[in-house]
Every structure is written in structure tokens, then in C-alpha cells.
């Protein structure tokens, strides 16, 4: 019985979020006023979240929300006597609400809303929070705790960003073909940032962060379905699904860290991996490879271990090579070195790490020191490996990973 | 929406320019303004004399205080503006990027507060 309740709640919430996001986007695209659109729908949305799990999802959820919102607005305008600053936007929203015909499906403007939220004139750090709030209806407290920002500060930044969309005249439209790749990248980056925040809770103890990864996947599905011709949208979704498939495998039952290479493939979620593989192969049919497709392809070459018993390290090294040429990222260089150590030998890997070390940022980067320590140990240089482990341990904030590195170091002694 | 494109640049560059350079820049600005008029977005524009001619005024204890020079001594100073009327920020940014000054100075894009 409890499980049915849980199912009903999840279904109701998913439909409520779908409809809410669509209506916010629809109203905001017409008035350019995201905050007013949210205000107009807030009570209706809250009431849907409260009622639908018990009464069931209505046949026409958007019409239900619209009716509830109109009733609220009518009440509000009866109470309001004087002309205030708010009058203008309330009237505008009320007109739009009334103009929407209930029987016709409303146009899905969520993609245009996402492009507005990830506009270059919006602070890059605020793009993911904005999308989470406007498209999914998450509150500032939930978003703040996921991004480790106080709810008050997050709330204020969200208000400011929405006011900026309106006041600066940020458009709700699909970017021109020339701008699309860069602008789409900003949208995908915001979704991936939300996922990464949720992914950094490996123990799964912080429910809000874990949920955020699921919300990001939801947004990824939305972007991929609204942009069927954009292979990178599929690539990002595939990448997130591969990672999600391995979520639980990152820790033992006792909470110990398990590196990817030592994870039991049987503990991975096969359904998610299958879905990711299908997406990736459909994306690659378009012939253009972007960052997310390459990263997803790396994941694919890892999970091939399910079938062959060995990760395809040659492919992984080559993919990281392509990624490095594309991004110039020192983090990618480390991953490439690790892959090369597997496919060519520890010496080749170490040589590549030495090359990457020219980037001063790596001095404080834990994975660099951990990779270095591992390769030095394999080459028999226990003393240098010990020093490198020392650095890695000092830089790691996750206690489980720290324990793992300490064990590795102790094994050398 | 109306936007002001505020042109910031290094004023000292002007003194060092040759006559031919200045003529080239003038032609570029002429073409830019003309393109705005043709597109129907032009509202107004002015070029400002250098900050050496500026006076900064404020009232303190009911008395007018005048400081010779600009409000802030920075390397890049406001040198002029265009006002345009376009549908949204993207259009304003496109016009700002086309401004001859964009290549060596900075263009601040500010929406006008409609009263």
C-alpha cells in the first residue's frame, strides 16, 4: 500500500512539474516576466502538489492549473484597490491567463525559457539554479542547499537574475543558427552543472543533492526531446545516464570508496546503460562529435567491461586525446595519461603526466597526485609514490576516498 | 526597447593618431550610423569631447562643488553614445558588436528606463 502511495505521489509530482514548467514558460515568453509568471502559478502549483497524489492526476492537468491560477488572480485583483507598481504585470499576466484556451494544448516554450535562463548576459553560476527553478518549480531553499548556498542568498540571486531577464530585455527565442552551438552549450552546461552537484554526494546521504542529479537527467531528457536534431543534447543525456548507472557502485555497503576500475559491473544499472548506449549511437549518426558525446563515448568504453571483462583502454586514450585537443583541459590530460598507462604502459602514462604538470593548477588537484602516485608505485618507485600519495591525501575532502588513498599508501610500506 | 550603447575607450589613442587614421575611423562611424538609420533602429548619438574638458559637480552643504576632470579617473573613458530602439538585448548586442569602437574599446549596453 505504501508503495502505491509513493508511486501516486511521484506520478502526480512529475505531471505537476511538467505542466507547471510549460505554463511558466508559456506566460514568461509572452510577458518576458518570469517572476510574475511564477507568482501567478505558485498557489495553483502548490495546490496541485497537495491534491493530485490523493485525488489522482486530472485528465487535463494544464487546464486544471490554469483554472486554479485564474481564480487566484481574480481574488487578488478584487482585494487590490489601488494602482501599484505590481498592477501592470499582474494585469498583463491575467490577460494572458485568460487568453489561453483550455481545450487546446498550449505551446511548449520551455526550450526558449531555458535559452533565456542560460543567456550570456546571465551570470554563468546562476544559469543552472534559474533553470531548476523556472522549469521544475524547485524552491530557493532546495536549490540553495544543493549548491551549498544559503536559501536567503540563493533566493536573492534568483530574484535578481529574473529581474535582469525582464529589465535588460533578454529574449525568449531560439538563437540564430550562427549562435546556436555556443548558446546550446550554455544550456547543456547548466544542466550538467546541476547533475554534477547532485553527483558529488557519493554516499547518497544528502537526499537533496541526490535528487538534483535526477532533476538534471529529467532536464536532459527534456532538452534531448525538444532538440531532436542536436547530437550534443543526446550526448549529454547519455553521459548523465552512464554516470547514474554507476551511482551505487561507487561505495561498498560499508561506505568504502570503490574506484571505477574495481567496480563490479553486475552492480551497474543495466537499463540505464542500455538507454545511454542507444542515445549515443543515435547521436553519433549525425556525424558531428562534441564534448558530451566524446565524454559519453569514454563511459561506453568503460562499461564494455560488462561484456569483454576489460575496459577498452585504447579507445579511452584516443577519446581523451580528442577531448584534450578540443578543450585543452588539464583534467582531461590526466585522464588521458591514466588511460595510456593501461594501454601502453605506466612509463608512457607518467611521461604524459609530467607534460601535464606544466599547468600550475594541477599542484592542488587531487586526481593528479593520486594518478601520479599509482603510476610511480607500479614502476617500483615506492619513495616518490609515497610522497605523491601524501599530497593526494592532503587534498582530498571526501573521507572515504581519503581512506582508500591511505590504504594504497600503506600497502607500499 | 530602447538601449544606450555607451562607448568606452582610451582617449590618449586619439592624440597619437595620424590624420589618415582619424579619417578612416570617421568613415567607419559614418557607415555605422547610416546602417542604424537604414535599419530603422537609430534614435540618437553624440560624441563627447575628451575628459580634460569635463567638470564634475556635486552639492555639499548647499554649496556647489566643482572638480575639474571626470567623475572617475580611469584609463578607459566614456567617449560617446548611441541610442537605439530594438526588440531585445540580443539585437542591441549585435549593434554594439558592430560599433567601430568595439574592436579596441568597450561598449556598455544599458536599457533605457521607460517612464
| pLDDT, tens digit, 9 for 90 and up, residues B62-77 | 999 999 999 998 889 9
Rounded to the nearest integer, the mean pLDDT of chain B is: 93
Determine, yes or no, domain membership for B53: no
Specify the number of domains making up chain B: 1
CB neighbour burial string for A398-411, b if at least 16 within 10 angstroms, e if fewer? eebbbebbeebbee
Q: Chain B within 8 Å of A163 (Cβ-Cβ)? A: no
Q: What is the pLDDT of residues A209-238, one digit of tens each?
A: 667 888 899 999 999 998 999 999 999 999
Determine, yes or no, domain membership for B87: yes
pLDDT band at residue A286 using 50, 70 and 90 as cut-offs = confident
Whether the Cβ atoms of residue B64 and residue B57 lie closer than 8 Å to each other: yes
Read off the C-alpha cell for B102. Answer: 568595439
| C-alpha to C-alpha distance for A120 and A182, rounded to whole angstroms | 9
CB contact under 8 A, B89 and A121: yes
Question: Does residue A17 carry a pLDDT above 60?
Answer: yes
Give contacts of A169 with chain B, Cβ < 8 Å. Answer: 1, 3, 87-89, 92, 111
Whether the Cβ atoms of residue A22 and residue A106 lie closer than 8 Å to each other: yes
CATH 1.25.40.10 positions along chain A are 312-413
Determine, yes or no, domain membership for B17: yes
Which CATH number covers residue B36?
A: 3.30.70.1060
Helix (H) or strand (E) segment spanning residue B57: strand B55-60
Q: Which of B1, B41, B85, B88 to mutate to test the interface with A (most CBs of A within 10 A)?
A: B88
Give contacts of B96 with chain A, Cβ < 8 Å. Answer: none
Q: Chain A within 8 Å of B87 (Cβ-Cβ)? A: yes
Determine, yes or no, domain membership for B103: yes
Q: Closest Cα to residue A155, out of A137, A116, A129?
A: A129
Rounded to the nearest integer, the mean pLDDT of chain A is: 89
Give contacts of A168 with chain B, Cβ < 8 Å. Answer: 89, 111
Give contacts of B3 with chain A, Cβ < 8 Å. Answer: 169
Q: For domain A312-413, is the CATH number 2.60.40.420?
A: no
Question: Does residue A81 carry a pLDDT above 80?
Answer: no
- The per-residue pLDDT for A82 is 47
Nearest residue of A to residue B113 by CA position? A167
pLDDT band at residue A83 using 50, 70 and 90 as cut-offs = very low
Nearest residue of B to residue A174 by CA position? B90
Q: Chain A within 8 Å of B83 (Cβ-Cβ)? A: no
Determine, yes or no, domain membership for B18: yes
| C-alpha to C-alpha distance for B69 and B72, rounded to whole angstroms | 8
Q: Chain B within 8 Å of A363 (Cβ-Cβ)? A: no
Nearest residue of B to residue A175 by CA position? B90
How does DSSP classify residue A362?
A: G
Nearest residue of A to residue B86 by CA position? A169
Q: How many other CB atoms are there within 10 angstroms of residue A390's CB atom? A: 15
Q: What is the ipTM of this complex?
A: 0.80
Q: Chain B within 8 Å of A72 (Cβ-Cβ)? A: no
Determine, yes or no, domain membership for B57: no
Read off the C-alpha cell for A61. Answer: 492537468
How does DSSP classify residue A176?
A: P
Q: Which residues contact A315 (CB under 8 A, 6 or more apart)?
A: A297, A301
- The per-residue pLDDT for B64 is 94
CB contact under 8 A, B88 and A167: no
Give contacts of A119 with chain B, Cβ < 8 Å. Answer: 89
Determine, yes or no, domain membership for B58: no
Nearest residue of A to residue B94 by CA position? A179
Helix (H) or strand (E) segment spanning residue B65: strand B63-68
B15: left (phi over 0), alpha (psi -120 to 50) or beta: alpha
Domain range enclosing B90: 2-48+75-111
Give chain B's residues under pLDDT 50. none
Amino acid at each position: 500500500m505504501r508503495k502505491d502511495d509513493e508511486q501516486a505521489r511521484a506520478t502526480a509530482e512529475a505531471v505537476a512539474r511538467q505542466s507547471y514548467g510549460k505554463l511558466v514558460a508559456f506566460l514568461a515568453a509572452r510577458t518576458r516576466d518570469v517572476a510574475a509568471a511564477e507568482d501567478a502559478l505558485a498557489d495553483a502549483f502548490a495546490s496541485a502538489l497537495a491534491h493530485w497524489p490523493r485525488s489522482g492526476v486530472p485528465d487535463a492537468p494544464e487546464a486544471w492549473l490554469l483554472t486554479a491560477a485564474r481564480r487566484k488572480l481574480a481574488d487578488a485583483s478584487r482585494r487590490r484597490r489601488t494602482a501599484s507598481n505590481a498592477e501592470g504585470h499582474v494585469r498583463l499576466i491575467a490577460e494572458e491567463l485568460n487568453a489561453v484556451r483550455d481545450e487546446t494544448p498550449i505551446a511548449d516554450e520551455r526550450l526558449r525559457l531555458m535559452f533565456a535562463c542560460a543567456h550570456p548576459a546571465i551570470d554563468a553560476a546562476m544559469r543552472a539554479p534559474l533553470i531548476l527553478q523556472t522549469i521544475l518549480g524547485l524552491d530557493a531553499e532546495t536549490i540553495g542547499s544543493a549548491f551549498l548556498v544559503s536559501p536567503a542568498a540563493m533566493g536573492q540571486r534568483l530574484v535578481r537574475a529574473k529581474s535582469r531577464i525582464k529589465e535588460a530585455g533578454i529574449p525568449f527565442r531560439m538563437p540564430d543558427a550562427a549562435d546556436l552551438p555556443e548558446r546550446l552549450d550554455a544550456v547543456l552546461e547548466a544542466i550538467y552543472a546541476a547533475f554534477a552537484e547532485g553527483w558529488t554526494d557519493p554516499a547518497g546521504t544528502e537526499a537533496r543533492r541526490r535528487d538534483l542529479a535526477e532533476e538534471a537527467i529529467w532536464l536532459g531528457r527534456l532538452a534531448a526531446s525538444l532538440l531532436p536534431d542536436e547530437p550534443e543534447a543526446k550526448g549529454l543525456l547519455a553521459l548523465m545516464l552512464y554516470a547514474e548507472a554507476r551511482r551505487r557502485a561507487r561505495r561498498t555497503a560499508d561506505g568504502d570508496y570503490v574506484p571505477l576500475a574495481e567496480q563490479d559491473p553486475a552492480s551497474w544499472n543495466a537499463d540505464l546503460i542500455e538507454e545511454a548506449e542507444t542515445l549515443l549511437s543515435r547521436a553519433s549518426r549525425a556525424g558531428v562529435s562534441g564534448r558530451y558525446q566524446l565524454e559519453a563515448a569514454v563511459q561506453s568504453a568503460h562499461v564494455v567491461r560488462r561484456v569483454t571483462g576489460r575496459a577498452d583502454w585504447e579507445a579511452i586514450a584516443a577519446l581523451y586525446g580528442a577531448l584534450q585537443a578540443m578543450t585543452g583541459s588539464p583534467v582531461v590530460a590526466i585522464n588521458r595519461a591514466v588511460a595510456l598507462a593501461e594501454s601502453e604502459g605506466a612509463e608512457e602514462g607518467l611521461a604524459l603526466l609530467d607534460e601535464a604538470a606544466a599547468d600550475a593548477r594541477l599542484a592542488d588537484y587531487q586526481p593528479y597526485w593520486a594518478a601520479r602516485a599509482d603510476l610511480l608505485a607500479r614502476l617500483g618507485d615506492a619513495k616518490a609514490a609515497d610522497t605523491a600519495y601524501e599530497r593526494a591525501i592532503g587534498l582530498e575532502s571526501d573521507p572515504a576516498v581519503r581512506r582508500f588513498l591511505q590504504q594504497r599508501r600503506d600497502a607500499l610500506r | 526597447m530602447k538601449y544606450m550603447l555607451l562607448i568606452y575607450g582610451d582617449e590618449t589613442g586619439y592624440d597619437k593618431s595620424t590624420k589618415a587614421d582619424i579619417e578612416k575611423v570617421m568613415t567607419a562611424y559614418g557607415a555605422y550610423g547610416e546602417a542604424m538609420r537604414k535599419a530603422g533602429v537609430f534614435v540618437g548619438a553624440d560624441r563627447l569631447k575628451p575628459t580634460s574638458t569635463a567638470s564634475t559637480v556635486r552639492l555639499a552643504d548647499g554649496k556647489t562643488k566643482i572638480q575639474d576632470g571626470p567623475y572617475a579617473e580611469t584609463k578607459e573613458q566614456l567617449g560617446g553614445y548611441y541610442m537605439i530602439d530594438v526588440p531585445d538585448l540580443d539585437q542591441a548586442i549585435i549593434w554594439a558588436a558592430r560599433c567601430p569602437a568595439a574592436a579596441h574599446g568597450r561598449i556598455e549596453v544599458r536599457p533605457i528606463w521607460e517612464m
